[in-house]
Chain A
Amino acid sequence: MKKILVLISDIQMTIIMTIFYLVILAPFSLFVKSKIKPFKTKKKNSNWERIHITSNNKDLMKQY
């Protein structure tokens, strides 16, 4: 994948990404926008996400 990507020039990459963002991602953005938690504007009384990640989680370091 990377080998193909490096063959594309900077300008081509910019054009491809611009089209990809404005056209392909447009419907996704409408769908996802309201679901991306940190960006939601809904008023809350806390911004802390309570989580529980421990060192016992053996998969923790495998995920890329």
Chain B
Amino acid sequence: MNILGISCDYHDSAAVLVRDGILVSAAQEERFTRLKNDSSIPRHAVDFCLSQGNIGLKDIDRVAFYEKPFRKFHRILLSSLATYPAGLPFFVAAMRSFLLEKLWIKNKIIEELHIPEDRVSFVPHHISHGASTFFASPYCDATIVTIDGVGEWATSTIGKGKDNNITVMAEQQFPHSLGLLYSTITAFLGFEVNEGEYKVMGMAPFGKPIYADKIWKLLNLFPDSSFRLNLEYFSFQISESSPYSSKLISLLGKPRDPGSHFFTKRSGFPSYFGKKPADYAKRCEENQHFADIAASLQYVAEHIIFSVIRHAYTIAPSKNLCLAGGVFLNSVANGKLQKNTPFQHIYIQPAAGDAGGALGAALYVNRTVYQSKPFIMTHAYWGKEFSETEILHAAKSYNLSFRKIRNTRKLNTVIINAIMNEKVVGWFNGRSEWGPRALGNRSILADPRDPAIKDIVNTKIKFREPFRPFAASVLAGHEHEIFDIPASPGLPINFMLCVYPVNKKWRKKIPAVTHVNGTSRPQVVNKKDNKRYWELINDFYKKTGVPLLLNTSFNIKGEPIVNTPTDAIQTFLTSELDLLVMGNFIITKQSNS
């Protein structure tokens, strides 16, 4: 029984193949097309999923789409009426995209995938989110909470999962959305919606939540954790160009210019920003104001998230909690869940956002229609793998100097020596990751002990804002020694989905992965999930006494994470990465000739 799950037409399109209840492959379209957050029909991701499963389109028993396009259209139509006549710009833009494209997704699937109409299923958006977490979790009973921007009408749901069933018990509807509140302030702070939310989260520790009372003005929170946005501060419901109104500007001041650099006295002014501006002190002060807004938003968002989850416990109690929706990519809030809610065990799968809807839709059809056996997602390596011949072919076609070191211990020694000498290494190994995080198969690695390395990685390749922290991959068994984490953090820590405080005595030892507020975002690496990566970190540990490496995604700013050996080589050549390791090959920049 082959089920193909698809999500597309909003952002982060993806495809997954589930066979007899077990996941075979999962990938986002952006990794193939190289267009960040690509939302088009995931043709390449579908091709990959089929070839990974050694099947053709004719072998697909059912296609599961992650939402209901007509129901979404219904929401757009009715909200345009509700906001009449101010909703004109929104209506015109939405009608164009719906009438010309989005409403016909069913026909596109039937035509492009040659699937008969009766074999296409449409799973509601938030049920896809719920299924993506519960049906990939280790639990047969759990409370399910989903929170995002918006699906069809729902913006958050509370439900219950039991064996092969999911029951949704409560929902909040558009326009009252925590995801849209977060995105609106993200836009106000000069970052791109659906992309810059991570940056707001990274910026927050540089500020203090002194404007929390102002953020609270944007909504009315009820005692049962539900809320209604005060729509006069927002314009996402009437315009596609700006999500906030002039009233929000009167409340919070002038929005941040998206083209300006963000730096405060604490973040410092990195060399890759160029020459320090003459009015540096004034700009620091202005940016401090924005950092305080970010901190206030994060504070309010956390308060709401914990309240919703505590409320969910009262209406659908369980000791297990499954979470999904873009809001649960907020790793700072995720790291505080166990301290602030009654749940003992928590599960989130790596693609908690809309790409994960493809997984949820497929698993939902599998479990509820075909009653397939349970599947547990313990690792994120569901993407494409490349053979030695393919790697070799790519290296040769670029005329690069390479050598193969068959003995992995020897290979590790070369890599670790480079890392210990302030070198930055591109690491390409095995199947690519599912979800927005690089988890040791398409990663850039560096020395976490080196206080200067953050600037070096940024100057050489990432060019990230100086306030954004770098994450760490830690050997399983050492996480409690280094980080202040709950006794059983569960699987989300394998997916780098939670931020935790670094224990005091370690903060000075690993400055490159310790954020300004003393926290870090660790990924626990188990030998059984990624032996090759585990061995590398273990060899680094033997040499240095530090059981972790700095790990950041293998990409240049603004590009998707690399997928193929050619992507890796191109990124290697256009950046100042010192070394590229692909499988057992070490590639340097000297030309072969």
Do A and B interact with each other, yes or no? Answer: yes
Residues of A within 8 A of B (CB): 2, 5-6, 10, 13-14, 17-18, 21-22, 25-26, 28-29, 32-33, 36-39, 44-56, 60-64
Interface of B: prevailing SS: mixed
In the complex the two chains form, is B153's CB within 8 Å of A38's CB? Answer: yes
In Å, the complex CA distance between A60 and B215 comes to: 38
Neighbour of B164 across the interface among A18, A36, A55, CB < 8 A: A55
Q: Which residues of A contact B84 (CB under 8 A)?
A: 21, 25-26, 29, 33
Contact of B129 with A by CB under 8 A: no
B 211-241 contacts with A by CB, 8 A: 222-224, 226-228, 231
Interface-lining segment among B170-178, B415-423, B430-438: B170-178
Return chain B residues, CB-CB under 8 Å to A36. 78-79, 81-82
Cβ distance A8 to chain B, nearest Cβ, rounded Å: 9
**Which residue of A2, A25, A54, A62 is within 8 Å of B104 (Cβ)?**
A2
Question: How close is B175's CB to chain A, nearest CB, in angstroms?
Answer: 6
- CB nearest neighbor in A for B365: A61
The answer to whether B96 and A10 touch across the interface, beta carbons within 8 angstroms, is yes
Contacts of B226 in A (CB 8 A): 46-48
Q: Which residues of the partner chain B approach A55 to less than 8 Å between Cβ atoms? A: 164-167, 364, 367-368
Q: Is the CB of A6 within 8 A of B175?
A: no
- Please, could you name 17 A-B residue pairs with CB atoms under 8 Å apart, sorted by A? A2-B103, A13-B96, A18-B88, A25-B84, A26-B85, A32-B81, A33-B81, A38-B175, A47-B172, A48-B171, A49-B173, A53-B124, A54-B167, A55-B167, A55-B364, A55-B367, A60-B127
B224 touches A39 (CB 8 A): no
Q: Decide if B106 is an interface residue (CB 8 Å cutoff).
A: yes
A52 touches B122 (CB 8 A): no
- How many interface contacts (CB-CB < 8 Å) are there between A and B? 133
Q: Contact at A63–B81, with CB atoms within 8 Å?
A: no
What is the CB-to-nearest-CB distance from A61 to chain B, in angstroms, rounded to a whole number? 4
The 8 closest A-B pairs by CB, nearest first: A29-B84, A47-B226, A61-B121, A39-B82, A55-B368, A38-B173, A48-B170, A36-B82
Question: Are B167 and A33 neighbours in the complex by a CB distance under 8 Å?
Answer: no
A39→B79 contact, CB < 8 A: yes
> A63 to B74, alpha carbons, bound, how many Å?
13
Interface size class for chain B? Answer: 35 or more
For A32, what are the chain B residues with a Cβ–Cβ distance below 8 Å?
78, 81-82
* B64: chain A residues within 8 A (beta carbon): 61
Interface centre among B64, B78, B122, B153 (most CB of A within 10 A): B78
A17 in complex: contacting residue of B78, B82, B91, B166, CB < 8 Å? B91
Within 8 Å by CB of A2, from B107, B231, B364, lies B107
Closest to A53 in B: B168
Name the A residues within 8 Å of B231 (CB-CB). Answer: 39
Task: Please determine whether A51 and B165 come into contact, CB atoms closer than 8 angstroms.
Answer: no
B365 adjacent to A47 (CB under 8 Å): no
Stretch from B65-73, B201-209, B244-252 at the A interface: B65-73
Q: A21-B88, A61-B365 are in contact. Are A47 and B124 (CB under 8 A)?
A: no
Give the distance to chain B from A37, nearest Cβ to Cβ, in Å: 7
CA distance in complex: A47, B153 (Å): 13
Q: Is B487 an interface residue (CB 8 A)?
A: no
Given A21-B92, A60-B123, A61-B365, 5 other A-B residues pairs in contact with their CB atoms under 8 A = A2-B104, A18-B88, A39-B231, A53-B168, A61-B64
Closest-by-CB residue of A relative to B168 is A53
Contacting residues of chain B (69-115) with chain A, CB-CB under 8 angstroms: 69-71, 78-85, 87-88, 91-92, 95-96, 99-100, 103-104, 106-107
The answer to whether A48 touches B224, judged by C-beta atoms less than 8 angstroms apart, is yes
B266: shortest Cβ distance to chain A, in Å?
Answer: 38
Given the known interface contacts A14-B96, A33-B81, the answer about A22 and B88 at a Cβ–Cβ threshold of 8 Å is yes
Report yes or no: A6 in contact with B173, Cβ–Cβ below 8 A. no
Please tell me if B140 contacts chain A, counting CB pairs below 8 Å: no
Chain B nearest CB, measured from A31 CB (Å): 9
Q: How far is the CA of A25 from the CA of B301 in the complex (A)?
A: 36
Rounded to whole Å, the gap between the CB of A10 and the closest CB of chain B is: 7
Q: Does B169 contact A (CB under 8 A)?
A: yes
Q: Which residues of A contact B103 (CB under 8 A)?
A: 2
Q: In the complex the two chains form, is A64's CB within 8 Å of B100's CB?
A: no
Specify which chain B residues have a CB less than 8 angstroms from the CB of A52 in the assembled complex.
Answer: 167-169
- In angstroms, Cα B87 to Cα A38, docked, is 15
B177 nearest CB neighbor, chain A only: A38
Specify which chain A residues have a CB less than 8 angstroms from the CB of B81 in the assembled complex.
25, 28-29, 32-33, 36
Cα–Cα, bound, A18→B124 (Å): 30
Provided the pairs A10-B96, A61-B122 are in contact, do residues A48 and B167 lie with their beta carbons within 8 angstroms?
no
With most chain A CB atoms within 10 A of its CB, the pick from B84, B88, B165, B223 is B84
Docked-complex contact A51 and B104, CB < 8 angstroms: no
Please give, as numbers and ranges, the residues of chain B lying within 8 Å of A61 by CB-CB distance. 64, 121-123, 364-365, 369
Residues of B within 8 A of A44 (CB): 222, 228
Bound complex: CA A52 to CA B176 (Å): 20
Which residues from chain A contact B168 at a C-beta distance below 8 Å?
Answer: 51-53
Distance (Å) between the CB of A39 and the closest chain B CB? 4
A15 to B169, CA, bound (A): 42
Query: With A and B bound together, what is the CA distance between A21 and B227 in angstroms?
Result: 30
- Min Cβ gap A62→B in Å is 8
Q: How long is the Cα–Cα vector from A56 to B163 in the complex, in angstroms?
A: 13
CB distance from B53 to the nearest CB of A (A): 22
CB-contact partner of B85 in A14, A22, A49, A54, under 8 A? A22
A42 vs B315: C-alpha distance in the bound complex, in angstroms?
A: 25
